[in-house]
Amino acid sequence: MYELRQVDKHFPGVHALKAVDFKVNRHEIVGLVGENGAGKSTLMKVIYGAYQPDGGDVTIDGTVVRFQNPRQAMNHGIGMVFQEQSLILNLTVMENIFLGYEQQFVKFGIIDWKAMAQAAKAQLAKVKLDIDPATTTSDLSFAQRQLVELAKVLTLEERIDGDLVILLDEPTSVLAKEEVELLFGLVRDLTKRASFIFVSHRMDEVLELSDRIYVMKDGAVVDVVAHDAADIDAIQHKMVGREVDKEYYREQKQKPYDAAQALVSFDQVSCGRRYNDISFDLHPGEVLCLVGTEGSGREAILRTIFGLETPTAGTVKIKGEQVTSFAAQSGVARGVGYIPRERKIEGIVAGMNVYENMTLSQMPNYSSGGVLKVGEEKAMARTWIERLGIKTPDVYKDCGGLSGGNQQKVVLAKWRSGGADIMLLDHPTRGLDIGAKEDVYEMIREMSAAGVGIILVADTLEEAIGLSHTILVIKDGAFQKRFDGTPGAKPTLYDLVHHMI
């Protein structure tokens, strides 16, 4: 019903889409996978009208259409649920749902709030969300917001006579497992009324949900597989274009750590309502994974060690010394490195180039008397660009223009080159494609072998299990259980989930 034929899209210096054929049938869920930079997001933007293709046709039921902007696409029944949280937080739920389409509730220039609330209620019912439509959006949980976004797109149903195509861009990235299940149930249910295009980095989820899967690589569709014929390894092979390491998490490289000394010790530490009474030790060479649902307190623990949060009770020791003042500066001075989840906001400074970003945390090492030694900075940057295989034309490249994986490597280089021996990794592989993920895993093993203590909040449970020496399960800010992760004796997914929820 909805079809792209031989669609091309060029940007200066990039052939982003190469004669892409893409088709969505009624009541179908189509998966779309590919590495970062494979052209997924360009394709999506063409579909929902943010970009106009340079060549080829977009057809709906055989009629050629051309969208100048997202609104025109919406008027043809194409809606988008965004990857980033795209609700406007200071508005109420119903305002968000009908944003841009308030006119239907306006009588004599006056908005009929009651009518809007009623209509919003109906939309929320579609996604089985029972909340007051007048709630301010910032008061909702992430999962609730995700459902509101879906409800917002579903308003197309009333507005459009024809068929609906709804794009779901990484809808599960902020959701916990059971919430994902709920969302999937909902989506399957909704196929009665709409078709879906599902984009995710989580291969298992794509496989589980999709009827057909489009695999993209370098701006072209390289394969289309049906649900029943799908095989993770085969798809990954197509995406990456080479054999994926069987030892995905590099377990063979996991070496025992030195339990004799402790880099970080938490002794009955509490931090307000975020977490309570947490105790553990991190040793040199150890990969310690904090596992829990969103909001269980794992990030807050990381931020405490780095100095961004001040605990309300208990003792924190770093390298034997008790920490009294909690500030990022002192964390850095003690050799703590932090790879934040919000890479683009907290990780790199967009607008600053590669070497400037790499030395940001360690300027005293590259200056004397406050005067920078730019030559040394560049030399260091070149060394690390080579060492980590960072893809950048030169050290002057604005980091905001690098791909996600390379940005992550720059952040890593920043800490590693500064000699950080306690690394805090918050979702380090989030949003990275398989190749980049493997690079990150490789680096974690290298650091571990070099005696760096690592605390990890992983993107998936598999990742946590595969990478860690030790797993701590946390629920609602309280410690639940400690698992040992020696290769061969690793806990199972079920073991962990059992204690998480």
Reported as type and span, the H/E element at residue 299 is helix 298-306
> Binding residue for other proteins (CB under 8 A) from 182, 220, 240, 379?
182
Per rule CB under 8 A, is residue 184 in the interface with other proteins?
Answer: no
Is the separation of the CB atoms in 65 and 59 below 8 Å? yes
Minimum distance, C-beta of residue 319 to other proteins, in the bound complex (Å): 16
> Binding residue for other proteins (CB under 8 A) from 199, 264, 332, 461?
332
Is the separation of the CB atoms in 399 and 410 below 8 Å? yes
Q: Which residues lie across from 320 on neighbouring strands?
A: none
Closer of 75 and 279 to other proteins (Cβ)? 75
Q: Where are the alpha helices (DSSP H) in 195-285?
A: 203-209, 232-240
> Binding residue for other proteins (CB under 8 A) from 189, 231, 247, 342?
342
Minimum distance, C-beta of residue 501 to other proteins, in the bound complex (Å): 10
Distance CA 302, CA 456 (A): 9
- Count of helices and strands (H, E) across the chain: 17, 24
Distance CA 433, CA 37 (A): 9
Residue tagged 């959701």 (tokens):
175
> Binding residue for other proteins (CB under 8 A) from 345, 449, 450, 493?
345
Minimum distance, C-beta of residue 384 to other proteins, in the bound complex (Å): 15
User: Which residues, numbered 380-419, are part of the site for other proteins (CB under 8 A)?
Assistant: 400, 414
Per rule CB under 8 A, is residue 122 in the interface with other proteins?
Answer: no
Closer of 19 and 91 to other proteins (Cβ)? 91
Phi-psi region of 146 (alpha: psi -120 to 50; beta: other; left: phi over 0): alpha
Minimum distance, C-beta of residue 462 to other proteins, in the bound complex (Å): 22
Is the separation of the CB atoms in 235 and 275 below 8 Å? no
| Tokens read off for 209 | 């949900």
Per rule CB under 8 A, is residue 87 in the interface with other proteins?
Answer: yes
Closer of 250 and 414 to other proteins (Cβ)? 414
| Tokens read off for 407 | 């940005």
Per rule CB under 8 A, is residue 329 in the interface with other proteins?
Answer: yes
Closer of 345 and 493 to other proteins (Cβ)? 345
> Binding residue for other proteins (CB under 8 A) from 41, 135, 191, 315?
135
Site string for other proteins, 201-240 (x = CB under 8 A): ----------------------------------------
Per rule CB under 8 A, is residue 103 in the interface with other proteins?
Answer: yes
Residue tagged 């031989």 (tokens):
6
> Binding residue for other proteins (CB under 8 A) from 8, 132, 157, 258?
132
Per rule CB under 8 A, is residue 176 in the interface with other proteins?
Answer: yes
124, 390, 392, 404 from 383: Cα distances, Å: 54, 10, 13, 20
- With CB under 8 A as the contact rule, which of the stretches 54-62, 137-145, 245-253, 380-388 interacts with other proteins? 137-145
Closer of 25 and 136 to other proteins (Cβ)? 136
Between the CA atoms of 173, 179, 182 and 184, what dihedral angle is there, to the nearest 10 degrees?
20
Per rule CB under 8 A, is residue 304 in the interface with other proteins?
Answer: no
Closer of 400 and 435 to other proteins (Cβ)? 400
Question: Strand order of the sheet with strand 453-457?
Answer: 321-322, 313-318, 264-271, 275-282, 478-484, 470-475, 287-291, 453-457, 422-426, 336-339
> Binding residue for other proteins (CB under 8 A) from 61, 139, 233, 247?
139
> Binding residue for other proteins (CB under 8 A) from 58, 143, 230, 500?
143
Per rule CB under 8 A, is residue 141 in the interface with other proteins?
Answer: yes
Closer of 247 and 342 to other proteins (Cβ)? 342
What are φ and ψ of residue 442, in 5° steps? -55, -45
Minimum distance, C-beta of residue 338 to other proteins, in the bound complex (Å): 6
Pair type for strands 2-11 and 14-24: antiparallel
Q: Helix 434-449 vs helix 232-240: angle between axes, to the nearest 10 degrees?
A: 90
3-state SS of 141-163 is CHHHHHHHHHHHHHCHHHHCCCC
Minimum distance, C-beta of residue 424 to other proteins, in the bound complex (Å): 10
Q: How many residues bind other proteins (CB under 8 A)?
A: 89
User: Which residues, numbered 27-46, are part of the site for other proteins (CB under 8 A)?
Assistant: none
Per rule CB under 8 A, is residue 91 in the interface with other proteins?
Answer: yes
Reported as type and span, the H/E element at residue 121 is helix 113-126
> Binding residue for other proteins (CB under 8 A) from 256, 364, 401, 487?
364
Per rule CB under 8 A, is residue 89 in the interface with other proteins?
Answer: yes
Minimum distance, C-beta of residue 155 to other proteins, in the bound complex (Å): 11
